[in-house]
Every structure is written in structure tokens, then in C-alpha cells.
Chain A
Amino acid sequence: MDFSLLSDNIGLFMQGFMNTIWASLLGLAGSFILGTIIAVFRMTRSRPLVWFGTAYVEFFRNIPLLLVVFLFYLGLPSLGITLSGFASGTMGLAVYTSSFIAEAIRAGIMAVPKGQTEAARSSGLTYVQTMFYVILPQAIKLVIPPLSNQFINLVKNSSILSIVAGFDLMYYGDIVATETFDTINTYLFVALFYLIITLPLSYGSRVLERKLARHD
């Protein structure tokens, strides 16, 4: 590896690295909020809400992330709303990932046996109390492993910002590659920067998963 390439272009690499972290954090927050709302929709008794939630999840899970990002980046301008590459990329990430998160949350809550709800309700807890004190603490154990996987995916997927000029790590990597003509070394450093984020996350999620499993 040619470290002078890294030191010569450290400014660009760092700018991209920080933007990738930003996009991932914003995408995580957005997808978690959206995903929770959709999961709740699907568990209510209201037909239209259930239908909407199901359609939302099935639609976004089955189309490419790039298409979702393009809907924001290329589609919205024709409706008079113009977003930057970073904004459309991050919003696309949030919406796309929320469909996976909604499923993970729903599966986690459904996995808690029905008898527990019945027992809690008949011992006088309200529905909200049942959710907060009985169901959610157990569901969270089942939800955390798939959620942390989704976050790792989100970090990797944020590289899609480079296609819509979103100033992320991959985008600056491409600039460095075309300026230095040293594609191999540039991409290796880009890979290294991604691994700095994703490897600790995968390791952490594995440890967490094992820990949560042990408490059962």
C-alpha cells in the first residue's frame, strides 16, 4: 500500500469518511423512527393502517435502494422539490432500510408468546403498561441482532450516495482515483475506511447477540 497517497489526500478521505458517518447516523435515526411507525401500523386493528404498512414494507423491500434514491433525486424535481445528492441519498437510505427494520420489530414483538399479554392484562395492567413492562423488554432482545445487522448494511449501502454526488467516502474515493491514476491503492484505502466502521460493528453485534442469548 502506498501511504503517501493517503497522506496527500487525507483531507478528501476524511471529508468523505465524516459524511459517510453522518449519512449512516441520519439514515439510522430516520429508518428507526419510520420502521417503528410502520411496525405499529401493522399491529393495530385498523384495516387501512395494516394494509398501508404491509404495502409499504413489501414495496420497499422488493425494489433496489438505487431506485428509491432516484425517486428522491430524479423524481421529486419534477414535482418542484429539488434535493441535494446527500439529502436524497440519506432519505432514500432511511426509507429503504425502514422496511427491513419494521419487519424486524414486528417479528420480535410477535415472538413474545400471547399468553404473556393475556396474563399481564388479566392482572390489571393496561395495554400500554403491558407493552412497556412485559412485551417490549423481551422483544428488544430478539430485535437487537437483526437491527444491528441492518445498521451495518446501512453503512455499506451509504456508498450509493456517490452515484448521486452525495460527497461520501466512495465519492471522494472516485475523485482521488481519477486524480492520482492509482485506482488500486485508492480503493484499498477506501475499503480500509469502510472496514474501520463496519468491522467493529459486526464484532460488537456478535458479542451482543451472544450476551443476550445467554440471559434467556
Chain B
Amino acid sequence: MDFAGAYSGDFLIFLLQGLLITLKIALISIILSFTLGTLIGIIRYARVPVLSPVLAVLVELLRNLPLLLIILFSRFALPDLGLRLGPEGAAIAALTVFEMAMISEVVRGGLNSIPKGQVEAARSSGLSSVQTLRYIVLPQGLRRMIPPLVSQFISLLKDTSLATAIALAELMHNAQIIIGHSYNYAIPVLLLCAAIYFTVNYLLSLLSRRLENKGV
């Protein structure tokens, strides 16, 4: 084990560059998958005809496939269908589609957990179904969704490491390149990466706790 060699300036900068890519991919995918997932969750909660059952099948399929397969598919199979994505694009597309399915289930569960009596009361006091969703169900549902949503975001951040399989220059990919220089760097570099992932995820879970207490 060579801690001093592994933590030399060049290597640390290289890891930092990887971390920035990891954070960038994670942030973009979180925003996209949260938006799409919420939309799908609402459509399925409201049982929109035609759309809802189709999305149900899509969500069920995506949830039961390995994310790595979806990542490889986006990078290597989509070009044959006429859509050529670089490593970044493919990683974002795959993470978004997969996490969107997971998040839609969280959203649907959160909305369903609001007692039906509240919806009935809102409707009979004259609110439209959209107003009921907007002012009664969503605000309460969202608060309950915060903990599972944040743990989903933490999974997403961890899962960005799978994009190393399509040579995206994120943290784990750069770590592997450093380890390629010498096996003596393996444990020091991996422990440093673990500390980095841990810190970012821990900050995320702290944020979740604060949001929960504040009630958004």
C-alpha cells in the first residue's frame, strides 16, 4: 500500500475532476427523473385512461431490469436505432429512465397514502380534481415522500459509478485509471473514493432530515 504516492497532487486533481462529472451527471439525472417520475406518478394516481396502464407496464419492466443493462443499451444499442449518444448522454438517459420508474412508484405511493376522505371533502366543497391534487393531495404527499425520494437520490448518485462501464470519466472510472498505474494505490484510492461518496450522501441525508422537519 502506498498512501503517499496515491494521494499525490496530480492524482487528487484527477479524482476531483471525476467527482465533478459524477456530481454533474447525478444532478442532471435527479432533476430529469424527478420531473418525469412525478408526472408518471400523478398520471397513475389519477388513473388517466390508456396512458396509465401503458406507463404501468413500462415502469414494471424498467424496475425489474439491471440499470447496467440499460446503461449499456443506451450507449451501444441506441446508435443502431439512429440515436447516437456519447458517454455522458447515454449515462444521463439511462439513469433518468431507470430512476424515473423508481420515483414514479414513490410518488404514487405517497399520493395514495393521503386518506380518500380528504379528496372527497375537497371535491364536495367545490374544488376541481386538479385543484384538489394541487392544494390538498400534493402538498401533503410530497412531505411524506421526502425520505424515500432522498434515498432514491442517494442510490442514483451511487449508481453513476456504473457508467464506468461505458468509459464515462466519473469518479470510479478515474480511480480505476490511477489503480492501473500500480496496485499499491488500490486500497488508498478506493478508501478515498468511499470517503467522498459517503460525505456527499451523508450531506444529502442531512438535507432530507432538515426538509422533513421544516415540512417544505
Contacts and interface: CB of A to CB of B under 8 A. Distances in A.
A162 B68 contact: yes
Given A64-B158, A160-B68, 8 more contacts: A63-B158, A75-B186, A78-B183, A79-B187, A157-B66, A170-B69, A194-B69, A202-B64
A58 B197 CA distance: 12
Of the four ranges (under 10, 10 to 19, 20 to 34, 35 or more), the interface on chain A belongs to 35 or more
B198 A152 contact: no
Contacts of B183: 74, 77-78
A187 interface: yes
B194 interface: yes
A75 B76 CA distance: 30
Contacts of B198: 58-59, 62-63
Contact of A194 (B60, B65, B159): B65
Contacts of B10: none
Interface residues of B, number: 39
Interface of A: 58-59, 62-67, 70-71, 74-75, 77-79, 152, 156-160, 162-163, 170, 173-174, 177, 183-184, 187, 190-191, 194-195, 198-199, 202
Q: Is the interface of B mostly helix, strand, loop or mixed?
A: helix
B207 interface: no
Nearest to B205: A62
Contacts of A173: 69
A164 to B, nearest CB: 11
A78 B187 contact: yes
B186 A78 contact: yes
Contacts of A159: 66, 68-69
Given A74-B179, A78-B1, A187-B73, A67 B197 contact: yes
Contact of A74 (B69, B76, B160, B190): B190
Interface in B182-198: 183-184, 186-187, 190, 193-194, 197-198
Interface in B33-78: 60-61, 63-69, 72-73, 76-77
B208 to A, nearest CB: 13
B152 interface: no
Given A64-B159, A160-B162, A71 B68 contact: no
B187 to A, nearest CB: 5
Q: Which 8 residue pairs spanning A and B have beta carbons closest together?
A: A159-B66, A64-B161, A198-B64, A64-B158, A62-B201, A156-B66, A183-B77, A74-B186
